[in-house]
Structure 1
Amino acid sequence: MSAIQASDYSPTIKKRALSRKLVELREQCGMTTSQVCKRLQWSPSKLNYIEKAKWVEPKSDSVTDLCELYGVSAADTEALIKLTREARQRGWWRKYNDVFRDDFVGLEAGASEILTFETTLIPGLLQAPGYIATVTRIAGIQDDSEVKRHVDARLQRQEIITRKSAPCRLHALIDENALARIKDPAIRAEQIGHLIDASTSPNVKVQVLRFTSGLYAGTSEPFAYLKFSDVLERDIVYLETTVDDRMLEEDDELQRYRTRFGQLCGAAQDAAATSAYLATMIE
């Protein structure tokens, strides 16, 4: 069994690593999912949730049963049980289940680099408090305490790019449309100032796609591309839609979005020109 290298990741990433190891073990012993379910008297949905990392709380008993079936050594079983316990831990975002509707923030917390493209909103990792509050109210939340809760949660999310130990690298492409939609002068000034300040960090790069540049390739949905430092951890493309949220992991899908991000970078102002342009917006 390949080494487990998820010790420094968030519980969400550890859950993915655990599922990946269990699939690897099943394939190594040549068993199909149907054979596993028959031997353990499990429903197909139970094994599918385990192998697709969809289980809400990984269970040590289930992992032990699989290890026994696959003939895993005592040492490797112990390592997997330890990973199971770590994957069961609650990330800080769990107390904000009303703010974050899926596992994306947990995945984001484990990323070493994030490439993001936004067309109508400022990227979440670069939103200023006033902007967060405005977007939250537009979404239909009017209670002041609830708005503050959303602001607090989203600001805590941003700590991945400001932490002292191994801060996440962020490269953000923002269509000028997202800036033009901020009509309140105070909110606008705060948000643009926040973008300027953030872009001075060595791990943050901001580029704007200006109206004056005209049309550019791939003018469709926003996306976030997450990279991880562990070479065994597959990259993820996250797409947020009205109906549902999708996470793409296949090699051909990832390649298409890497190519698309490169095209968008070429159409955007470079980082220096972007900072100079943003400065003119709040003079």
Structure 2
Amino acid sequence: MSEIHVEGYSPTIKKRALSRKLVAARKEIGMTTTEVCKRLHWSPTKLNYIEKAKWITPNSDAVNDLCELYGVEGDEREALARLAHEARERGWWTRYNDVFRNEYPGFEASASTVRTFQNTYLPGLLQDVGYIELVTNAAGIEDPAEVRRHVAARLQRQEILTRADNPCHLHAVVDENALQRLSSPSIRGLQVRHLIKMADLPNIKFQVIPTTAGVYPGAGESFTQLGYSDPGERDIVILETTIDDRMLEEKDELQSYKVRFDRLCAIALDTAATRAYLMKLIEDDE
């Protein structure tokens, strides 16, 4: 197996790395999943959850059983055991399991780059407090204590952009309709000023696709692509739906969304024109 590079990554990414290494170890000895389940008296579901990184808490006994079966010994076995231990750590987002419906913040926390296209809402990483409260209320959450938890969770999520050590690089492309939906001048003014402030950071690029672009190439559902600095860590594309979020990892899928994002960037206003557009929104409100 190749060396594991997960230092500094979140428990979510470490769990994913552990699953990937266990799959590689199985394939290295030419064993099928059916054979593994037969030898260990496991159900196919159990092995599938391990290999697809769907296990909530990596089980050390299961990892040891697989290492024994695959003939993984010495330093490699110790590395996998250590990875299993680290993957069981609880990230900050687990304190907000009533806010986040999956482990997306864990994948996002370790990303070196985030490329996102949004056509209804502004990107979560760029939302200010008033906007977060607005979209939280729109989701049917009105209890003040619950709203405060949503605000706190989403603000903590945004810290990846301003952390002192290797801040994440964000490139966001947003359909103008997401801004036009802000009917309240007070909320719109503060949010637009926040966008300008964040877009002035060297690690953030923000572009708007104006409605004058008409029906443009790449239009469709919102998506986010997460990139990682470790070349051994495959990027992820997240598709957001009202039911759940799909995670795409195959190379052809990643390439398809890379091409789509590049097309969206080409049709959008450049950063200077976008900044001028945002300034005009503020002037119109004054």
**Letter aligned with residue 184 of structure 1:** S
1:113-262 aligned at under 5 Å gives the runs 113-262=113-262
Pairing of 1:23-42 with structure 2 (within 5 A):
23-42=23-42
| Letter of the 2:186 counterpart | A
Secondary structure at the residue paired with 1:172? strand
SS in 2 for 1:198: helix
Runs of 4+ in 1 over 4 A off after TM superposition: none
Superposition RMSD on alpha carbons, in Å? 0.7
1:75 Cα deviation after fit: 1.4
| Segment of structure 1 superposing worse, 207-216 or 7-16 | 207-216
* Structure 2 letter corresponding to 1:92: W
Kindly provide the amino acid, as one letter, of the partner of residue 128 in structure 1: D
Aligned residue pair count: 283
For residue 26 of structure 1, what is the amino acid of its counterpart? R
SS at match of 2:101: coil
- Describe the SS at the equivalent of 1:170: strand
SS at structure 2 position matched to 1:39: helix
After TM superposition, give the deviation of residue 212 of structure 1 in Å. 1.9
Give the match's secondary structure for 1:281. Answer: helix
Query: Alignment identity in percent?
Result: 61
Q: CA deviation at 1:103?
A: 1.2
Partners of 1:19 and 1:185 in 2: how far apart?
Answer: 48
**Structure 1 unaligned residues grouped into runs of 5+:** none
* TM-score with structure 2 setting the length: 0.98
Query: Secondary structure at 2:20's aligned position in 1?
Result: helix
Matched, 1:5 2:5: yes
Unpaired segments of 5 or more residues in structure 2? none
Query: What's the offset of the Cα at 1:280?
Result: 1.1
**TM-score of the pair, normalised by structure 1:** 0.99
Separation in structure 1 between the aligned mates of residue 98 and residue 168 of structure 2, nearest angstrom:
25
Give the superposition deviation at 1:219. Answer: 1.4
Deviation, 1:244, is 2.4
CA distance in 1, matches of 2:126, 2:186: 17
